[in-house]
Structure formats: structure tokens, C-alpha cells
């Protein structure tokens, strides 16, 4: 049995896609959803069983707990978690957590890194910057996580065109479609040991 957890700060639509992809897989358990945001949509999605009957507990944590204690590292170690999946998680992963789960944390970034990465480049800000820069393509990057925002080894990228008439919302839609098409599969491939750092 391989165990994963998902960290999410917002709507949680990627978390839901992953949940729906692995439900029924006897070898994979989604053990826990962790969020820093008590108002995150991912909490409601989890309470609804991700609309696929998958019941997953949710842990809401605050900044001092995350950055000044080892409670989360200890919890994840005690549960023998194999993979930490960031899906719209907006806080920097603290060095102690990166170290404790070296090569076992992955993130999805809604741009073609190294473009449009780093602090402040998240969610809708990215799509606005992409349109403002007149980019003709953008995409997604799935990568291992290190102590710096958006800098770990790249696992997978996929691109989509940006039309001159596209608004940031149009770009967001295309990006979500790419994320849903690829992130769940890549998560399972990493869990199955097919991809390593």
C-alpha cells in the first residue's frame, strides 16, 4: 500500500481530480488533506467525499504550527506517508519538511518554469502576467520540491497556445484542463516508483 497526502490552499479542484483518479485503486491510499486555509474549497470537497465516495480526513494548520514546530513532519512520518502532493498550496514548504521527505514532495505550477515562477507567482497572478507579457504559449510544470519556490527537478511539462484575444480567465481554463489531464497520472507514476528525483 502506497500512501499520499495532499496539501491545498484553495478550491482543490486538482485534489478532487486526483481523488477521483485513485478511488478504487487497492494499492493507493489518500490518507489526509492538509490546508492552511480554514475557508479553502478543498475542505468542502473532502466533506463531500470528492464526489466519488472517497472519505479523507482534513487537517487545518496555522503558520506557527507549520514553520515553528515539527508536528506535521512527525504526523506524516508516523503515518508512513510515501508522497506529499502540493495541489494549489501557496506556502513555502519549510526546510525541515523538505529534508524529512527528500524526493517525496511534488508540486504543480501553472506555467512553463523557469518562466513565471518564484515568490508572488501563483494562481491567477501568473495568468495575468502571461497575458500582459504577450506570451504565445504557456503550460504546466510538475516538479519535485526543494527549499525554494518552483526550483526543484522538473518531472513533466505540457504546453498550450495563448491566443492574442485570450483573457487571464481563458488561460486559467486551458491550464486547468492540462492539469486535470496530467497531474493525477503523474502522481500515480511517482508513487509507483516509475519516476524518481
Catalytic residues, by residue number, are: 109
Confirm if 111 and 30 have CB atoms less than 8 A apart. no
Establish whether 12 is an annotated binding residue.
yes
- The least distance separating ligand GAR from the CB of residue 12, rounded to whole angstroms, comes to 5
Establish whether 103 is an annotated binding residue.
no
- The least distance separating ligand GAR from the CB of residue 192, rounded to whole angstroms, comes to 22
- Within 8 A by CB and 6+ apart from 65, the residues are 71, 72
Give the separation between CA 24 and CA 52, rounded to whole angstroms: 10
- The least distance separating ligand GAR from the CB of residue 68, rounded to whole angstroms, comes to 23
The footprint of ligand GAR (CB under 6 A) covers 8, 10-14, 87-88, 108-110, 122-123, 175, 179
Establish whether 37 is an annotated binding residue.
no
For residues 63 and 119, which CB has a smaller minimum distance to ligand GAR in the complex? 119
Q: Which residues pair with 95 in a beta bridge?
A: none
Establish whether 14 is an annotated binding residue.
yes
> Which string of DSSP letters, residue by residue, matches 109-167?
ESS-TTTT-STT--HHHHHHHHHHTT-SEEEEEEEE--SSTT-SPEEEEEEEE--TT--
Residue nearest to ligand GAR (CB): 88
Residue ranges for the known binding site are: 12-14, 63, 107
Amino acid at each position: 500500500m502506497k500512501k499520499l497526502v495532499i496539501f491545498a490552499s484553495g478550491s482543490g479542484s486538482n485534489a478532487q481530480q486526483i481523488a477521483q483518479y485513485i478511488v478504487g485503486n487497492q494499492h493507493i491510499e489518500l490518507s489526509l488533506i492538509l490546508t492552511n486555509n480554514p475557508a479553502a474549497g478543498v475542505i468542502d470537497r473532502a466533506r463531500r467525499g470528492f464526489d466519488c465516495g472517497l472519505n479523507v480526513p482534513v487537517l487545518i494548520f496555522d503558520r506557527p504550527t507549520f514553520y515553528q514546530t515539527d508536528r506535521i513532519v512527525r504526523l506524516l512520518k508516523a503515518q508512513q506517508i510515501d508522497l506529499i502532493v502540493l495541489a494549489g498550496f501557496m506556502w513555502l514548504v519549510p526546510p525541515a519538511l523538505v529534508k524529512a521527505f527528500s524526493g517525496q514532495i511534488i508540486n504543480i505550477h501553472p506555467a512553463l518554469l523557469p518562466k513565471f515562477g518564484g515568490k508572488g507567482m501563483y494562481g491567477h497572478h501568473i495568468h495575468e502576467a502571461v497575458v500582459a507579457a504577450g506570451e504565445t504559449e504557456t503550460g504546466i510544470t510538475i516538479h519535485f520540491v526543494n527549499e525554494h519556490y518552483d526550483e526543484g527537478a522538473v518531472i513533466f511539462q505540457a504546453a498550450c497556445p495563448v491566443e492574442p484575444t485570450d483573457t487571464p480567465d481563458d488561460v486559467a481554463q486551458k491550464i486547468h484542463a492540462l492539469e486535470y489531464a496530467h497531474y493525477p497520472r503523474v502522481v500515480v507514476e511517482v508513487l509507483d516508483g516509475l519516476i524518481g528525483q
